[in-house]
Amino acid sequence: MAKPSKKGPTKTVDIFCAGCSTLLFKYRKGGKGALIKSFKDRISQDYTLEPCICPKCHKAFARETLIRGLPAYKFIGGKVWFK
């Protein structure tokens, strides 16, 4: 499979914890679909202290993985929302 574009999308979304509504990331998302994964190189601002752990409620919201050879976070269903 092909790697995602180096240039990346220009639309930025805010990703929040579903449990406590804390801002986790500002992310350059492409497409109109659901938020399933986020590539680490597309995160423009990271507000977490530990990877994949919410800084306020200390619950895991994702898993670190490799997708198409690039490091990414794979979100756990229902743990995050974005706008």
State the pTM of this model: 0.89
Residue 2, pLDDT > 80, answer no
Vertex 75: Cα angle to 2 and 57 (nearest 5): 150
Q: To which residue do tokens 């790697």 refer?
A: 3
Give the pLDDT of residue 3. Answer: 74
Residue 76's pLDDT band (boundaries 50, 70, 90)? Answer: very high
Average pLDDT of the chain, as a whole number: 93
Residue 6, pLDDT > 70, answer no
Per the CB < 8 A criterion, the answer to whether 17 and 76 are in contact is no
Write the pLDDT tens digit of every residue in 24-43: 999 999 888 999 999 999 99
Which helix (H) or strand (E) is 17 found in, with range? Answer: strand 12-17
